[in-house]
């Protein structure tokens, strides 16, 4: 090594896979935008699966443990100790090892026996119950022992951090770091043309984005759409995403005659060109971490109306300064959306607020805070 040239810090980010979830997307955004003159970054997946792998930059090393998903893998992993798993899966030496999702990844990284390596656990979603928090561990005692080995526990929102502290009661070094979004890229991609006509006058276009899971509450959005149509409001709902609930949701649309009022756009490499042309982003999730999709809507200046899940009041204000947050109940979400549809001036107001708030989640700001955390370990 030349005199005066410092060695790059070698960092490993371990994640289950790089599927279409929010955490996976955020990880890709983060590592692509970190300072590669300071950090030598490897992203490793347990399973070589997922749409987001294609977006990893050329400077990121990519590794995987298994080419195919193993059914019941978390149960199989419990047969081995964290130390045995780490030795089996992590073959190279790193200065810092990051578990980028709670669960199996945290158990594996905690098995590092090299005292010189700094360990970080990233918590993305409220666990709510002890049972859920320890699901990937043999028992609560093992979970606590594993998490105590981390030099830093990162929560993606204050509520995620507080929830984790309360459930496992672990005395550790905690920090809140908001998700990284590629704001400039989002704006650039939003300007691409589309082949469908969303910009119709006198129709409020509602959009929901995410993997089609029960936990995401897309069934709620469809029920609210049905009710608004029945009350003669001009709305059209667009859903961006794929997942196991798609057939159930499509059957509901067919059974209730909503074919002209709801459009499934599927998984889109560029969802922003659709989101930017809508009037209102709706989050109906039963649980979230710090919603990537909602943050991206703000960056695009699209008003957000959401039920209260983790991080939303941090994002939109305690008193609805930057968007609408209501109790996590169908009726409350329906009333909030109806109020916005009835009062287009409120949509215009929250559009201005969204544009202002979106600047807070710039790529540069969120990445810098992560880099500072890493350098201070």
Question: Is the full-model pTM beyond 0.75?
Answer: yes
Compute the mean pLDDT over every residue in the chain, rounded to the nearest whole number: 93
Summarize the confidence of residues 125-151 as an average pLDDT: 93
Which is higher by pLDDT, 205 or 290? Answer: 205
DSSP string, 26-42: HHHHHHHHS-TTTEEEE
pLDDT for residue 70: 78
> Residues, the chain, total?
377
Residue 200 has pLDDT above 60, yes or no: yes
* Whole-number Cα distances in Å, 53 to 34, 47, 73, 178: 17, 11, 21, 21
**What is the spatial distance between Cα 294 and Cα 300, in angstroms, rounded to a whole number?**
10
Q: Are strands 96-99 and 118-123 parallel, antiparallel or unpaired?
A: parallel
What would the pLDDT profile of 95-109 be if each residue is shown by its tens digit? 999 999 888 999 999
What domains lie within the chain, and their CATH numbers? Answer: 9-177 (3.40.50.2000), 183-361 (3.40.50.2000)
pLDDT for residue 22: 82
Percent pLDDT > 90 in the chain is: 83
Summarize the confidence of residues 129-141 as an average pLDDT: 93
8 Å CB contact between 228 and 341? yes
Residue 14 has pLDDT above 80, yes or no: yes
Confidence class for position 126, pLDDT limits 50, 70, 90: confident
Q: Which of 325, 330, 322, 377 is nearest to 352 (CA)?
A: 322
Summarize the confidence of residues 25-53 as an average pLDDT: 94
Joined together, the tokens standing for residue 260 give: 């002209």
Summarize the confidence of residues 221-228 as an average pLDDT: 98
Confidence class for position 2, pLDDT limits 50, 70, 90: very low
Q: Which of 320, 318, 315 is nearest to 360 (CA)?
A: 315
**What is the spatial distance between Cα 112 and Cα 100, in angstroms, rounded to a whole number?**
15
Summarize the confidence of residues 235-251 as an average pLDDT: 96
pLDDT for residue 69: 80
What would the pLDDT profile of 42-53 be if each residue is shown by its tens digit? 999 999 988 899
**What is the spatial distance between Cα 13 and Cα 46, in angstroms, rounded to a whole number?**
11
Residue 376 has pLDDT above 80, yes or no: yes
Summarize the confidence of residues 64-82 as an average pLDDT: 87
Residue 1 has pLDDT above 50, yes or no: no
pLDDT for residue 290: 84
8 Å CB contact between 203 and 341? no
The SS3 assignment for 369 reads helix
- The order of strands in the sheet holding 304-307 is 262-266, 235-240, 204-209, 280-283, 304-307, 324-326
Residue 227 has pLDDT above 70, yes or no: yes
Phi, psi (rounded to 5 degrees) for 232: 70, 25
Percent pLDDT > 70 in the chain is: 98
* Whole-number Cα distances in Å, 356 to 78, 272, 311, 347: 47, 18, 18, 14
Summarize the confidence of residues 168-181 as an average pLDDT: 93
What would the pLDDT profile of 321-341 be if each residue is shown by its tens digit? 999 999 999 999 999 999 999
Summarize the confidence of residues 161-182 as an average pLDDT: 93
- The order of strands in the sheet holding 9-15 is 61-66, 39-47, 9-15, 96-99, 118-123, 152-155, 174-176
Residue 225 has pLDDT above 90, yes or no: yes
Residue 21 has pLDDT above 80, yes or no: no
Cα Rg, the chain, nearest whole Å: 21
What would the pLDDT profile of 275-313 be if each residue is shown by its tens digit? 999 999 999 999 887 888 999 999 999 999 999 998 899
The SS3 assignment for 299 reads helix
pLDDT for residue 230: 97
**What is the spatial distance between Cα 69 and Cα 104, in angstroms, rounded to a whole number?**
14
Residue whose tokens read 């995410």: 210
């Amino acid at each position: 090594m030349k005199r005066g040239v410092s060695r790059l810090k070698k960092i490993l980010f371990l994640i289950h896979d790089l599927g279409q979830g929010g955490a996976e997307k955020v990880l890709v955004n983060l590592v692509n935008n970190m300072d590669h003159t300071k950090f030598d970054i490897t992203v490793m997946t347990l399973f070589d699966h997922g749409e987001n792998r294609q977006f990893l930059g050329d400077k990121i090393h990519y590794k995987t443990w298994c080419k195919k998903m193993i059914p019941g893998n978390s149960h199989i992993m419990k047969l081995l100790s964290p130390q045995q798993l780490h030795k089996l899966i992590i073959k190279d030496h790193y200065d810092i090892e990051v578990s980028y999702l709670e669960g199996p990844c945290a158990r594996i990284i905690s098995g590092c026996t090299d005292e010189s390596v700094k360990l970080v656990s990233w918590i993305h979603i409220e666990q709510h119950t002890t049972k859920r928090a320890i699901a990937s561990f043999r028992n609560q005692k093992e979970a606590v022992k594993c998490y105590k080995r981390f030099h830093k526990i990162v929560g993606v929102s204050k509520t995620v951090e507080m929830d984790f502290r309360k459930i496992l009661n672990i005395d550790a070094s905690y920090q809140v770091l908001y998700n990284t979004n590629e704001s400039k890229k989002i704006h650039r991609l939003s300007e691409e043309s589309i082949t469908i006509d969303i910009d119709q006058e006198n129709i409020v276009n509602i959009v929901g984005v995410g993997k089609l899971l029960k936990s995401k509450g897309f069934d709620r959005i469809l029920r609210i759409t049905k009710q608004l149509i029945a009350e003669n409001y001009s709305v059209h709902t667009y859903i961006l995403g794929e997942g196991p609930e798609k057939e159930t949701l499509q059957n509901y649309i067919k059974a209730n005659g909503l074919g002209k009022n709801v459009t499934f756009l599927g998984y889109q490499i560029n969802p922003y060109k659709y989101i930017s042309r809508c009037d209102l982003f709706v989050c109906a999730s039963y649980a979230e971490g710090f919603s990537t999709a909602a943050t991206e809507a703000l960056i695009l200046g699209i008003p957000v109306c959401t039920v209260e899940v983790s991080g939303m009041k941090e994002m939109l204000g305690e008193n609805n300064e930057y968007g609408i947050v209501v109790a996590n109940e169908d009726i409350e979400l329906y009333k909030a959306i109806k109020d916005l549809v009835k009062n287009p001036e409120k949509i215009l107001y929250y559009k201005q607020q969204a544009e202002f708030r979106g600047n807070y989640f710039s790529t540069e700001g969120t990445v810098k805070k992560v880099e500072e955390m890493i350098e201070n370990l």
